[in-house]
Amino acid sequence: MSPSALPDNQNHNSDAHFESDLNLSLCGLGVEYPPFLVGPEALETLANRYYPPSAALKKVLSINRYTGIETRAAIGDVDHPLVNQPNAPSIKELNSLFRQEGVRLSVNACKKATQEWGGNLDDITHVISTTCTNSANPGFDHYVVKQLGIRSSVEKILLHGIGCSGGMAAMRTAAHVALGSSYRQKPARVLVLACEISSVLVRSELDSIDEEQKTRVGVCLFSDCASAAILSNGIGEDKSSRPVYDLLGWKHQIIDDTEEDLGFDVDPLGWKVVLTQRVPTLAAAAVSPCFQDLIQSIPDLQQSDQPPNAADFDWALHPGGSLIITGVEQAMKLTPEHLRASYEIYMNYGNSSSATIISVLNKLRESEGREQVVACAFGPGIALEMMVLRRRNTGASKTLTQNGTHEDSGFNGASLSHDQPSSANGVVSPNNDSQAGSMPSTTTTNGVNVNETTSTNGISTANLPIEELD
């Protein structure tokens, strides 16, 4: 039941082949966003309240209007006390907030995943968690397990230092753990958890923009979320269990000499985003060779004379930014429809770092789609995580939505736009329906170029300026 490493003289990057039936499945997914959705105006409101005008700040606020994000999920609105103090919150204050809000979101996400799975919490054998917005000891997973009522002896692993790729790295780690249990002929029910609280880092990022006079775009992208999944090796599983996805194979690799391009640096006031101009290009260029290696390592995908190409799959791409999404779309010759779930999550909730990928997978399974799915994410390193999954139900199904309700959902041709209803303070009601607007064909704002918008299948995309410009 474990992948067997086989020599490959033709491609040194293809270092493992997977067995035809790993018997690994995701049996439940849960996503919990906080109740507030803030529009681009929220950042401008805080900037104007606490910081003097400057060239760098002006450029960041211009970029903020053209990220393609209509609303971002946040634990509070623009008037939240923690971001309205005279100074940016300390790491002690950030930790206290995470201990409260992060644990609460995590518990709710886990409850949704376990509810869909339908099993007993006593059957959870392992908990594998990740976050890059908290580093306290014991980790937040300790408190989540305690509040859920899972036995204290459950085996826990908390992953750190992997940023936006954390959700996929946690699933990959869970798969290896479950395969180890399969080898021992023991059941494995692994609770995978990712949680990020990024919104309260806004003042720290604005401090750096003001003091260093650099264009830091992380402050325009990130949001809050917790997501969870139950991974099973099938041994002893109740026959009534209905898996959502089967895992067919996965791959992890590091793009050489990119440590300085993408990161989340430790700072006295929390963490600071590192994101250079090179990231979208590096990411897009790395996807194709990784995809080819992974496809070749999965026997189930080698049944015909013609190996599958990227367009034969639905794609659950971590929406790190609009240039990353459109870059991968172009590099892999995809259409926006292939990436519909990534676009929807990005536009409606923003980039919630490690917690986002499970949210994208959750959104993807709400609508009709292709049988196989490629999940992909990038993290510090630059690390590339990729996984191939098989849907158990390729048709639209009634599933738990982001707010825990049931509905049928499909891609409605939404566009990466910036015209949305919002209040004066930048807070958008979670129940408001965003109106898809149109982007100008070419716009220059304070030297920031927004390139021509193209439309495929009624879905607009744009080369938007989300990279960091010095």
Q: What pLDDT, in 10s, does the model give residues 381-417?
A: 888 999 999 999 765 443 333 443 334 334 444 445 4
| pLDDT(184) > 60 | yes
| pLDDT(263) > 90 | no
- pLDDT at residue 394, rounded to an integer: 60
CA distance 65 to 62: 6
Buried b (16+ CB within 10 A) or exposed e, 243-278: bbbbbbbbbbbebeebeebbbbeeeebbbbbbbbeb
Comparing CA positions, the residue from 111, 129, 150, 142 lying closest to residue 29 is: 111
For tokens 């495929």, what's the residue?
A: 456
Averaged over 3-12, what is the pLDDT? 40
pLDDT category of residue 140 using cuts at 50, 70 and 90: very high
pTM: 0.83
Peptide bond into 34 cis (omega under 30): no
CA distance 457 to 412: 10
| pLDDT(207) > 50 | yes
- pLDDT at residue 279, rounded to an integer: 80
Selecting among 164, 195, 225, 376, the annotated active-site residue is: 164
Tokens (6 digits) for 317: 């791409």
- Structure letter (DSSP) for residue 109: H
Averaged over 360-381, what is the pLDDT? 94
Average pLDDT, the chain: 83
| pLDDT(454) > 70 | no
User: 281 burial class (0-12, 13-18, 19+ CB within 10 angstroms)?
Assistant: middle
Comparing CA positions, the residue from 261, 258, 259, 255 lying closest to residue 275 is: 261
- Structure letter (DSSP) for residue 348: H
- pLDDT at residue 278, rounded to an integer: 82
- pLDDT at residue 12, rounded to an integer: 43
pLDDT category of residue 154 using cuts at 50, 70 and 90: very high
Instruction: Please check whether residue 310 is in contact with residue 290, taking contact to mean a CB–CB distance below 8 angstroms.
Output: no
- pLDDT at residue 450, rounded to an integer: 35
Tens of pLDDT, residues 423-440: 434 444 443 333 233 323
| pLDDT(418) > 80 | no
pLDDT category of residue 176 using cuts at 50, 70 and 90: very high
Tens of pLDDT, residues 44-93: 999 999 999 999 999 999 999 999 999 999 999 999 999 999 999 999 99
Whether 225 sits among the annotated catalytic residues: the reply is no
